[in-house]
Amino acid sequence: MIGIFDSGIGGLTVVRALMLQLPGYDYVYFGDTARTPYGTKSPETVVAYALEDTTFLIGKGAKLVVMACNTASSVATDAVKRQFNVPIFDVITPAVKRSLEVSRRGRIGVIGTRATINSDIYRNKLQAEDPSVEVFSNACPLLVPLVEEGWLRKPVTTMIVKKYLHPLKVRQIDTLILGCTHYPLLEGIIQTKVGQRVRIIDSSVGVADAVKAFLEAHPDVDQQMGQTGQSKLYVSDITEQFTTIARTTLKENVSLELVKL
Ligand code: DGL
């Protein structure tokens, strides 16, 4: 089984991307809806949660784990990789690689939660690969609650997106990384407001490509994944928002199970 976790609903965009790339595989998802958001918590707390989330998924039979949360990926990847003996994927590394491939002028924008932007992980990783790139970032703390509220097309959401993107637009970015797994649900508005010429990098698509490439290169691991087409979603609190967004994002009737970690 492929295990995926997020603080709540954002990781469903990663499940959607994985199901497109790897249809027929077995998936187990954990959304930590009781403790969301992670983006406003301290790094120590997010590391502790990420370790618990991974333990849960491995206990459910996951043989590979995707940390489908930029916040957890930015502060907890090393700790999770140290502790567990299965392949671990973060959402940041593939987004960095892809943005360096597509950026024409090396002017890369990053948006994410406060925790992700404060960690400076994207800047550090981008400039470690290519010191000449310029990185402009902006935390967008209001976007997660707007997505959770299902306000994906409201005028107020468009206004807020415009305001957050303005400082990046004036720096003439040519590429924009959606450094939060909630943001692909706002991709249309973001593309309109940042301008059609800016390439948008969706970290959920990048990590799905990376998992697919890894499984192709490691048939021994691939064989352990299970391909009966089953997916199970677990949450630490059953909320109306999660149920609605899970249905619209995955476009299928999802069954949810409540767990207490
Ligand atoms: N999905 C999370 C991320 O990618 C954001 C939500 C949260 O703050 O927990 O960072």
* 13 C-beta closer than 6 A to ligand 1: no
The neighbouring-strand residues paired with 69 are none
* 91 C-beta closer than 6 A to ligand 1: no
Percent of the chain topping pLDDT 90: 86
- Angle in degrees, 0-180, between the axes of helices 187-194 and 155-169, rounded to the nearest 10: 50
d(CA 183, ligand 1 centre) in Å? 9
Nearest ligand 1 atom, CA 38: 9
Q: What is the pLDDT, as a whole number, of residue 253?
A: 66
* 203 C-beta closer than 6 A to ligand 1: no
Residue nearest to atom 8 of ligand 1 (CA): 39
86: region left, alpha or beta (phi > 0 left; psi from -120 to 50 alpha): beta
Q: What is the pLDDT, as a whole number, of residue 27?
A: 95
Residue 128: CB atoms within 10 A of its CB come to 9
Query: Per-residue pLDDT averaged across 165-194, rounded?
Result: 96
d(CA 138, ligand 1 centre) in Å? 15
78-115 pLDDT tens trace: 999 999 999 999 999 999 999 999 999 999 999 999 98
198-253 pLDDT tens trace: 999 998 899 999 999 999 999 999 999 999 988 999 999 998 888 888 888 887 76
Residue 223: CB atoms within 10 A of its CB come to 11
147-167 pLDDT tens trace: 988 899 999 999 999 999 999
d(CA 219, ligand 1 centre) in Å? 32
b/e burial code for range 152-184 (CB count within 10 A of at least 16 → b): eeeeebbebbeebbeebbeeebbbbbbbbbbbb
Please name the residues in contact with 94: beta carbons below 8 A apart, sequence gap of 6 or more. Answer: 203, 206, 207, 209, 210
Q: How far apart are the first and last CA of the chain?
A: 20
